[in-house]
Amino acid sequence: MKNRRPASVFFTAVLLIVLYFALFPYPLGKELVAKPSWAVDIATTSSNSAAGDLPGSGDEGISPFQLGDLFGYVGPEGKLVHVGQRLFQTALSQTGYINYTRVGTDWIMRDPHGARLLAFSGFGYPLLSPDGRRVLVVSPDSTGLREVDGNGDTAWSRDFPATMTSVSLQGDFLLVGLLNGSLQLLGRNGRPIFQAPPSPSRIPVIYGCAVTNDGAFIASVSGLEPQVLTVLGRNGLSYTGALREILSTDYRREVRVGFSPDSRCLYYEDGRGVGLVEPSSGRTSSLSFSGKLAGCAFLKIGGLAAFAGRDGGRVDLRVVSPFVATFSSETFTAGDFFLGTIGGQLLLGLDGRLLRVDIKAL
């Protein structure tokens, strides 16, 4: 009798546990799976052709791409909306593009189907905001900017006290980094909002700058000895320091600096790959790969981001959850490479081919 009681208790306990898990199953973590959705060959599509719908129809979800000398727009299902041959350069945005020659004074902005949107004139080169709603002209000597209105006339223009080295145009905000180390933040009408003086570095050049879409944060990589990452946050009418980090880098060229569309993540070239900062908390992280940072894309799934490093023909692609984990690492060999998003998913361009990769939680 003494030996039977513990055995019955044991079996009852096991039964209850089994019953508990049967009635209240514990959800296991979902696994992220990357699956190619479609691939399309753009190299064989004739240049400057619209291969898709009529202007204005079905533009929802199309994405711009630039791969080697070709540029254009592709739909979420892989239908090419437009493929064009780059002249000298192409200013490309979500809603329109300007394909221009080396020395031109007259430009035409066209919609993704190639239909004319805007014509304007001047000296220099055009620059479009990512959404295409703002059209600027950079002066030939890189000391001045001019914004063009919907009629092609000058909305405002401004010269800077030194040569511009880096520009970030997001929403209503335009951040300009100068050779003399100062940063100027301008509002919608070109009105100065904030000016940051040069850093105390020995040579205080701005090597890269970025502003968030809502103007809440601005960031720069500047100076030599030391080279410094500075993040400033809006504080009333001014900006105050959110983060200042001395970098071990010695860049003397423009470096890529940018924010995620939701402003939660700042990325910058950090010498070993890419450095990541969460401006609101100051949390940092880094990803290493060989070569220069060649592109980045923020996906609309699980806060994932993709970064690509390029070393000659070798491309290292990392899909990560910033500050958490690396989800995927792939290496390609490609002459031409492009990284973007389509429908919130990954859009890759590799040597004349576009490829959509969907990342899903299963």
- Contacts with another protein by CB under 8 A lie at 89, 91, 102-103, 105, 122-127, 138-144, 157-168, 179-180, 190, 203, 205, 207-209, 224, 250, 252-256, 292-293
In whole angstroms, how close is the CB of 240 to another protein at the nearest point?
Answer: 24
In whole angstroms, how close is the CB of 214 to another protein at the nearest point?
Answer: 19
In whole angstroms, how close is the CB of 77 to another protein at the nearest point?
Answer: 31
Nearer to another protein, 104 or 344 (CB): 104
* CA distances, 259 to each of 197, 246, 280, 314 (Å): 22, 19, 12, 25
What contacts 44, CB < 8 A, 6 or more positions away?
Answer: 352
Nearer to another protein, 175 or 357 (CB): 175
Instruction: For residue 39, give the amino acid letter.
Output: A
In whole angstroms, how close is the CB of 336 to another protein at the nearest point?
Answer: 12
- Compute the distance between CA of residue 356 and CA of residue 352 in angstroms, rounded to an integer: 14
For the stretch 141-147, contacts whose Cβ atoms lie closer than 8 Å and that sit 24 or more positions apart, written own/partner, are 145/174, 145/176, 145/190, 146/122, 147/190
- CA 167 vs. chain centroid, Å, equals 14
Q: Is the CB of residue 185 less than 8 Å from the CB of residue 175?
A: yes
- Compute the distance between CA of residue 309 and CA of residue 275 in angstroms, rounded to an integer: 12
In whole angstroms, how close is the CB of 350 to another protein at the nearest point?
Answer: 19
In whole angstroms, how close is the CB of 73 to another protein at the nearest point?
Answer: 20
Nearer to another protein, 80 or 178 (CB): 178
Nearer to another protein, 166 or 345 (CB): 166
Q: Which residue has the tokens 């958490």?
A: 324
Nearer to another protein, 143 or 284 (CB): 143
Nearer to another protein, 261 or 344 (CB): 261
Largest CA distance in the chain: 102
- CA 261 vs. chain centroid, Å, equals 8
